[in-house]
Amino acid sequence: MTEEKFLEFIADIMGVDGAELSLDTRYKVYSEWDSLMMLNLIMEIEEEYQVRIPLEKVGEIKTLGNLYDMIRK
**What is the tens place of the pLDDT at every residue in 29-67?**
888 899 999 999 999 999 999 999 998 999 999 999 999
> Where residue 1 falls among pLDDT bands split at 50, 70, 90?
confident
Assess contact for 14 and 40: CB atoms under 8 A: no
Q: What is the pTM of this model?
A: 0.89
